[in-house]
Amino acid sequence: MRPFKYTSTNSTSGAMNLLMKNPNAHFLAGGTNLIDLMKEDVERPDELIDLTRLDLTSISTITTGLNSGGVSIGAIGKNTDAANHPFVRENFPLLSKAILAGASEQIRNMATNGGNLLQRTRCSYFYDTALACNKRSPGTGCAAKEGINRMHAIFGWSEDCVAVYPSDMAIALSALNATVKVTQADGKVRTIPINDFHRLPGNHPEKDNNLNRGELIISIEIPKNDFAAHSAYVKVRDRNSYAFALVSVAAGLVLDGNRIVSAHIAIGGVAHKPWRALKAEALLKGQMATSANFEAAAEAEMADARPLSHNKFKVNLGKNTIVSALEIALRGTDIKA
Ligand code: SF4
């Protein structure tokens, strides 16, 4: 690993000041992805600004505004604490299940909520500095496009990058219509809907998200919803622990008897960002909650997939995982506070 300077602060303004002074500085929170990337020489900051002393760890009920009745989750809080918080488990079990499906217990104890959103792709070519990668070194090419791309995208990829975004937590946040609250260098605060937070690769795969330099995530807000009792997170992976999704699906059903008032579905492991299944959601709205309708909606959603040479299996897998998540959501959420 290259040498770097370590700095620490207990205020967001202090963190911003340090960041704006040094274009090669990087914020450090849990470090569970960044430190790996530094060891592999993919990330090369010459200064790490430790954020773990910032007072941004609380989890609280939102009592005013558009998200009233929802929850605010501090950016520097640990993934484990968010997943196990009684209010989250009771009202947002989809989020708890998604977080608990990610990584290992040890990593979840270190990883922060804001950092989870900012984790980078696990494309193996991105990690190998001997190989072409537009995300790591813009303009060098994409070794994965014609390489072993079994884990890669089937939606929204570009000629410049076919990587997928690895977070489980963000897939649930997408279905939950969360917003990301960020503070800017001048102290102003802006909110970004989660579904606009991450980007498709286009011509600039080096940019994973729409956060600008000098912006810091302070919290994630989730509005109240009516599908806590009927939600599911299904993650399909090569082994049962400590593996990234081949395909994952976060699903929530608002039901009136057996009729679907609204469906909320996001897919992971298939694109450069959480993939909101808008087509399936539209088809399910107002329909009866039957296996036939679930299958028709899943089929329609996956019809637009553009698989690569090694990941055609993800189209069927995606369809089956959507159906499975909807069936589980219909039966009832199996996580209790
Ligand atoms: Fe790099 Fe993206 Fe290609 Fe992977 S898919 S090698 S991250 S450009």
71-94 residue pLDDT tens:
999 999 999 999 999 999 999 999
Residue 153 CB–ligand 1 contact under 6 Å: no
Tens digit of each residue's pLDDT (9 = 90 or more) over 92-135: 999 999 999 999 999 999 999 999 999 999 999 999 999 999 99
Would the CB of 165 count as within 6 Å of ligand 1? no
Nearest CA to ligand 1 atom 1: 133
Query: Could you tell me the domains of the chain?
Result: 5-53 (3.30.43.10), 231-331 (3.30.390.50)
**Beta bridge pairs of residue 47:** 5, 25
Predicted confidence band at 337 (pLDDT cuts at 50, 70, 90)?
very low
309 pLDDT above the threshold of 70: yes
163 lines ligand 1 (CB under 6 A): yes
* Residue 72 CB neighbours (<10 A): 18
Instruction: Render the burial of 253-274: b for 16+ CB within 10 Å, e for the rest.
Output: bbbeeeebebbbbbbbbbbbbb
Q: Is residue 335 very low, low, confident or very high in pLDDT (cuts 50, 70, 90)?
A: low
pLDDT at residue 336 tops 70: no
Q: Which pLDDT belongs to residue 242?
A: 87
With a 6 A CB cut-off, is 38 part of the ligand 1 pocket? Answer: no
- Distance CA(67)–CA(70), nearest Å, equals 5
Q: From ligand 1's centre to the CA of 138, what distance in Å?
A: 10
- Alpha-carbon gap, residue 294 to 88, rounded angstroms: 27
SS3 at position 307: coil
Mean pLDDT (the chain) is 97
Work out the angle between the directed axes of helices 313-331 and 291-302 (0-180°, nearest 10).
150
% residues pLDDT > 70 (the chain): 99
pLDDT (0 to 100) of residue 6 = 98
Report the pLDDT averaged over residues 246-273. 98
Please report the atom of ligand 1 found closest to the CA of residue 131.
Answer: 6
Q: Which of 40, 43, 120, 121, when mutated, tests ligand 1's pocket best, judged by the most ligand atoms within 8 Å of its CB? A: 121
Torsion of the alpha carbons at 35, 38, 44 and 47, rounded to the nearest 10:
30
Distance 277 CA to ligand 1 centre (A): 24
The average pLDDT across 31-35 equals: 97
> Quick one: pLDDT at residue 66?
87
